[in-house]
Structure formats: structure tokens, C-alpha cells
């Protein structure tokens, strides 16, 4: 059994995007096994358990990932993760990966694939709501798929937005007001908000929105009226209803499960699509275990590991 | 983060029994978080993912365990397992345990606790149907709780029964016919059978049965008529209905979920009990993630580990 302590090193973002795109295609064709992720609540956070089997890559395993918002005060990441990989033929654990940074990378890749298929154009103004690690992962992955003509960055704390914009080392990257950030072709929201921060009147026709932040019951970033105006795609319906951007509006009855237009997998295989340049589209990302397996496969090919005795 | 490659070494079975008993008591009082285990099917086996949080021990984590019946031909155990332990306060993975042998030990402990509370007497003739590793773990754990006056061993292959009986190094331990094995105070079934092998007419009044073998949909060891004559306790109702001894009879309609008398946790806390010496009682064991956490706690206290860098 191998342990990969730095599984995120030396990875090519374009290669990750392609692997995650392929995993979504398998998902769209119902070729994967993936029970919905399970949540266990701890006193100051939670952890999620995500098993899956992706036959096309001959890979099976489980990611275990926590969310503890107070961790940065303790010098630890909010989100940490391990992925266990099992041999398909024998069930034997063959690898354990430190998946902490892989988690951002694979979520970035899902956002990039959503943007590739649902963005109204290939040459875009991108707006960012939130400036954490996930915002950076989204921009880096999307930049492989689309040309980013301008990056408009908003954070509740303007210092964070300035610092994030400077750190991107991209031309035309600015800290702006939230209204200005929302005036874009491609909006990416990555905050842990528990009440809508993006107002419907700020979103013009033709925008695509990657709603990344909501990943637990009670979380939401978008005015539910935006969902009513939009064609809403999710990564997985069961997970999205439980903990995605649509979870609160569905609980309150503002939005219904039947209004979900389809999955990103269905978009990737051409079953579903953006129907006009004026349509507003939303990708509601909760994170799929198959994304974790797809990136683990690449990380094991490129990474260095130490040997652990087992069984 | 620590890795415990030999987590089963130097463990005291009585200590394990007490820890598992306490975990069942917490379960009976609804003081644990434990989603039902999730199954993922692989081409020649499956794996199960079992997360839980046991507040009384301040322990949280996930066991990942496979079942691949053809593994012995490849020189590997049928069942292999890893347990990941997370820090409650931060969600950080703090330990990974090789839980392959711990899985037998904790299942043995559950059987021992069931026998302690549900056996018709303290001085028993025990009958064993099946002679695999689980049979041995059951006997060793039960011997801590009850006096085993006689051990009657049956296996489909009499050579296995002879060898098992000789290996126990207990007095009054014999290979017998299946009818003779069933003529006992405490019957323990540990086979992977997919059709009933224990007939109802072989089971006399007052017997307690630990039904251990059925742990997946389609598996069953007991003539369903035995369940109809018995007071049936389960470890967890959702898991038992899905994959325990009751799963097939419930699917076929011979037995109903409402006929389950209660859980072992409820028995341990005194809410439920054997009501008379003549009653037949059954404990339907599927294996709970809280058992894995309880034994992991002990294994981490006694075991040696190596340090892995994380995060």
C-alpha cells in the first residue's frame, strides 16, 4: 500500500480537466457507481464520506473530507482530505492520498468543464465572488478552457480582493464592487454564505454562473430568483437537493427539484445544453466522488509515495 | 498522522468486549451518529464504507472494508479493511489503522455482548455453523462472557470442522453433525450462505442464535421459520433490513420489519430483554461503524505506529 503525502505536486491542470470531463461523461451515461456523499456532524464542523467506482478508469475508492470553518485560527486548512484507493480485483487498499489540495483542483476542474460547455462565449469577462483557495482553483482551471479577457474580483474584505487580484498575475484583473463583479459573462461564487449575497438584478441575460460555495444544508449564495430565471444544472441531483445551491430554495418551496434541468454529465455527453446566448445558466457544484477518483488516478501516476505494509 | 500496520496486536479481548458493549449502549440511547453503511459493487466483490462519530469516546472516523470471496485463491484475505480516524475538533485525519483483523475482533465482541445478555444461561453448550476466522473470533470473545461447557462444531467440510475443533485448545470441543451442532444453548452461524442451512426443527426452545454470516443482500443462513418463532434483535434496523439475516425473508414477505423486536443497544441498556427461558432469541449482526471506532480507540492506545506527513 502506498501513501502519497504530496499528491497535488507536478499536476497538469489541463490533464485534470480532461480526466474530470471524462468522469462527468461516464456519470452522464450512468456508467459509474456513486452513492450520495454522507455527512457526519462534529461539534465545530463536519466530515463527508464519498465512495465510488469508476469502471472506465478501473478505479474505486473513498474520499473522507472535513469542513471546519475555525481551523485557520488554529493554523490548519478548513478542508482536509484523504482518499483511499482499492484494487478492483481484490478490494485490497493499494493507496492512500493526501487529497487536501486535490480537492480544490478537482472542484476547479468541474467548474472549468461547466464553463467550457455552458459559457455564452469563449472569450469572457469572469466575475469572482469570494477569494479563497477555491476561487483560485476555479480561475486556474477555467483559464485552460476559455480566454479570460478580464477578471473582476469581489470579496467582503476589499483587502483580500486586492491581494487575490495581484496574486493571479493576469492582465486586466481588478478588485471591484459586487455589482461590477456580477456584470460579467461567467460568474463564479465560492463563499461559505448562508444567505444570498448575489442579487437577481445584478445578473444580466446570457450569464453563466458556477455556484460552488454551497456544499452543505443551509448554505446558499444566490438570490433564489436567479435560479427561477435560469436553466439550472447540477453535478448530482441527490447531492444538490441535500446540500447544493438549490437546497435552501427547495426546502423553502421557492424552487422545486423538477426545475433542475439536468446534470453536468448530461451536458458533457450532449443530452442537455445552453439553448440560446440570452439564457442564464447555473452550474450547482457539490463535488462528486468520481472527480476525486479521476484526479487520484493522475496523482498516483505523477506523484512520489512511501510504502506501507498491508495487510 | 499515524499508521498502525498491526493494529490487532496485544489486544485484550475482555477490554474489547467492554468497549463494544459501551458503544452499543450509546447506540441504544441514540448518542451516536452513524449513517447506514454504503455498498459499492465491484466485478468480483464489493466494498462497504462506514462512517461514524461516537461522542462518548471523542472519536470519529470511517472504516472501508471489502468482501471478495475469491481472494483466498490469490493468497489474500476475503475481507480487508482500513479505518481512518479524524480529530473531532479540527477534522484532521490523525490515524489510519489496518483494520483487517480488528474487523473480526469487533464482530466477535458484538456476538459476545449479544450472548451475555440473551443467552438462556451462563454455562452453555455452544454450537458453531461455519469454521472461518469469524467463528474463531466469536468463540474467543464469547468465552470471556460465558462458560463454554461444550463446543459443537459443524462445517460443510468435516476436515475443516476437525481442524477447527483441534485448534481451539478447549476441552469438550468436537466436530459433529449439523443437527447436533444446532442442539445447543447458543448457536453461532458464520457462513456466507445464500440459502438457509439451519432448519427450524433442529432449533429447540430457549436457544439463543448469533446470526453473523449474512452481511449483504441475498445472504441468509436460517430457515425463516426460525425467525417467526423467535424474538429477533438486530444491531441496526436499516442495515439489517438491507443486508442482515432478515433481509431475504423481508424481501420475500415471510418476515416484516415490524417483527424486529429491537436493537442490541436497547438490550444492553435494559429497554429490551429475553422474556423467558423458553424463548428463542436471535441476534442479527451486520456490523456497526461504532464497533470499529470503539476497537480503533483501544488499538491506538496499545499499538505501535509510524508517522506520516499530513496535511
In chain B, the residue whose alpha carbon lies closest to the alpha carbon of A53 is: B40
- Domain A2-103+290-307 and domain A108-286 have a common topology: no
For residue A222, pLDDT over 90 is answered with yes
B66, pLDDT greater than 90? yes
Query: According to the model, what pLDDT value does residue A169 have?
Result: 87
d(CA A156, CA B35): 36
Tell me if residue B218 falls in helix, strand or coil: coil
β-bridge partners, B232: B260, B282
C-alpha cell at A36: 450520495
What value does the mean pLDDT of chain A take? 96
What confidence category does residue A115 fall into, taking pLDDT thresholds of 50, 70 and 90? Answer: very high
Element (H, E) at A97: strand A93-98
pLDDT at A10: 86
Percent of chain A with pLDDT over 90: 96
Element (H, E) at A238: helix A237-243
A164-173, B119-128, B269-278: range with lowest mean pLDDT: A164-173
Which overall architecture, per CATH, does domain B2-103+290-307 show? 2-Layer Sandwich (3.30)
Number of Cα atoms under 13 Å in the Cβ half of residue B242: 12
Q: Reply yes or no on whether the pLDDT at A88 is more than 90.
A: yes
CA distance B83 to B95: 8
B186-237 pLDDT per residue, tens: 999 999 999 999 999 999 999 999 999 998 999 999 999 999 999 999 999 9
pLDDT tens track for A41-67: 999 999 999 999 999 999 999 999 999
Pairing of strands B208-211, B186-189: parallel
Which candidate in A4, A45, A51 is best for mutational testing of the B interface (most B CBs within 10 A)? A51
Pairing of strands A147-154, A81-86: unpaired
Taking CB atoms and an 8 Å limit, are A53 and B62 in contact across chains? no
* pLDDT surpassing 90 at residue B173: yes
B186 contacts B146 by C-beta, under 8 angstroms: yes
**Residues A136-156: pLDDT tens digits?**
999 999 999 999 999 999 999
A303 touches chain B (CB under 8 A): no
How many helices and strands, by DSSP H and E, does chain A display? 10, 15
Element (H, E) at B141: helix B133-142
All three cell numbers of A278: 440570452
Beta-strand pair A59-67/A45-54: antiparallel
Q: Check: CB of residue B55 under 8 Å from CB of residue B72.
A: no
Chain A 32-61, residues with CB within 8 Å of chain B CB atoms:
33, 35, 38-47, 49, 51-53, 60
Q: Give the pLDDT score at B38.
A: 96
Task: Name the residue facing B92 among A43, A76, A306 (closest C-beta).
Answer: A76
pLDDT at A256: 97
Q: pTM for the full model?
A: 0.94
What is the bridge-based pairing of β-strands A280-284 and A230-234? parallel
Q: Is the pLDDT of residue A113 over 90?
A: yes
Residue B170 clears pLDDT 90, i.e. is over it: no
Q: What is the pLDDT of residue A171?
A: 83
Query: What pLDDT score does A81 carry?
Result: 98
Task: Answer whether B179's CB lies under 8 Å from B197's CB.
Answer: no
Cβ of B47 within 8 Å of Cβ of A68? The answer is: no
**What integer is the mean pLDDT of A16-32?**
98
Contact B66 A86 (CB under 8 A): yes
Residue A286 has pLDDT above 90, yes or no: yes
ipTM of the complex, rounded to two decimals:
0.93
Beta bridge partners of A46: A41, A67
Mean pLDDT score across all residues of chain B: 96
Pairing between β-strand B45-54 and β-strand B38-42 as defined by DSSP bridges: antiparallel
Average of per-residue pLDDT across B78-90: 97
Distance of CA B50 to CAs A63, A151, B291, B299, Å?
12, 43, 10, 18
DSSP state of A214: -
**Burial status of residue B282 (CB atoms within 10 A of its CB: 0-12, 13-18, 19 or more):** buried
On the question of pLDDT at A7 being above 90, the answer is no
Give the DSSP per-residue string, B35-100.
PPPEEEEETTEEEEEEEEEEGGGTEEEEEEEEE-TTGGGGTS-S--EEEEEE-TTT--EEEEEE-H
Reply yes or no on domain A108-286 having CATH 3.40.50.720: yes
Contact by Cβ (8 Å): A263, A234: yes
| Burial category of A113 from C-beta neighbours within 10 Å (exposed 0-12, middle 13-18, buried 19 and up) | buried
Q: Which three cell numbers stand for residue A117?
A: 460547455
8 A C-beta contact, residue B84 and residue B292: no
Return the minimum-mean-pLDDT range out of A66-70, A170-174, B34-38, B98-102: A170-174
Angle ∠(B70,B74,B79) on CA atoms, nearest 5:
55
CATH architecture of B109-287: 3-Layer(aba) Sandwich (3.40)
- Chain A residues within 8 A of B68 when measuring between CB atoms: 89-91
pLDDT band at A285 (very low <50, low <70, confident <90, very high): very high
User: Span B252-268, mean pLDDT?
Assistant: 98
Confidence of residue B10 (pLDDT cuts 50, 70, 90): confident
Instruction: Give the DSSP letter of residue B8.
Output: T
Lowest-confidence segment of A9-13, B24-28, B94-98, B290-294 by average pLDDT: A9-13
Region A113-139: mean pLDDT is 97
What would the DSSP string read from start to end of A159-195?
A: HHHHHHHHHH--SSEEE--HHHHHSSSEEEE----SS
Question: Which of A134, A111, A256, A242 has the alpha carbon at shortest distance from A186?
Answer: A111
| Interface residue A271 vs chain B (CB under 8 A) | no
- Structural domain spans, chain B: 2-103+290-307, 109-287
Amino acid at each position: 500500500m502506498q501513501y502519497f503525502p504530496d499528491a497535488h505536486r507536478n499536476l497538469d491542470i489541463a490533464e485534470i480537466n480532461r480526466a474530470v470531463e471524462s468522469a462527468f461523461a461516464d456519470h452522464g451515461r450512468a456508467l459509474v457507481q456513486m452513492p450520495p456523499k454522507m455527512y457526519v456532524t462534529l461539534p465545530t464542523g463536519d466530515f463527508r464520506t464519498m465512495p465510488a467506482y469508476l469502471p472506465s478508469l478501473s478505479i474505486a475508492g473513498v474520499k473522507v473530507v472535513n469542513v471546519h470553518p475555525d481551523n485557520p485560527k488554529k493554523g490548519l486548512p478548513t478542508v482536509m482530505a484523504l482518499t483511499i484507493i482499492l484494487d478492483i480485483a481484490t478490494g485490497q487498499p493499494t493507496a492512500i492520498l493526501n487529497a487536501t489540495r486535490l480537492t480544490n483542483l478537482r472542484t476547479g476542474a468541474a467548474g472549468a468543464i461547466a464553463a467550457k460547455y455552458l459559457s455564452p462565449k469563449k472569450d469572457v469577462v469572469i466575475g469572482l465572488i469570494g477569494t479563497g483557495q477555491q476561487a483560485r482553483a476555479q480561475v486556474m482551471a477555467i483559464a485552460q478552457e476559455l480566454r479570460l479577457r478580464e477578471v473582476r474580483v469581489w470579496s467582503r474584505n476589499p483587502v483580500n480582493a486586492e491581494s487575490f487580484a495581484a496574486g493571479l498575475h493576469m492582465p486586466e484583473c481588478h478588485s471591484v464592487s459586487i455589482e461590477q463583479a456580477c456584470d460579467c459573462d461567467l460568474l463564479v461564487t465560492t463563499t461559505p454564505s448562508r444567505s444570498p449575497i448575489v442579487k437577481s438584478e445584478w445578473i444580466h441575460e446570457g450569464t453563466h454562473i458556477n455556484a460552488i460555495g454551497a456544499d452543505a444544508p443551509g448554505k446558499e449564495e444566490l438570490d433564489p430568483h436567479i435560479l427561477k430565471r435560469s436553466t439550472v444544472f447540477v453535478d448530482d441531483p441527490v447531492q444538490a437537493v441535500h446540500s447544493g445551491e438549490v437546497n435552501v430554495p427547495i426546502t423553502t418551496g421557492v424552487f422545486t427539484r423538477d426545475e433542475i434541468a439536468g446534470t453536468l454529465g448530461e451536458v458533457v455527453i450532449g443530452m442537455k445544453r445552453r439553448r440560446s446566448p440570452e439564457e442564464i445558466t447555473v452550474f450547482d457544484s457539490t463535488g462528486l466522488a468520481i472527480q476525486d477518483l479521476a484526479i487520484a488516478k493522475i496523482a498516483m501516476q505523477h506523484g512520489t509515495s512511501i510504502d506501507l505494509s498491508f495487510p
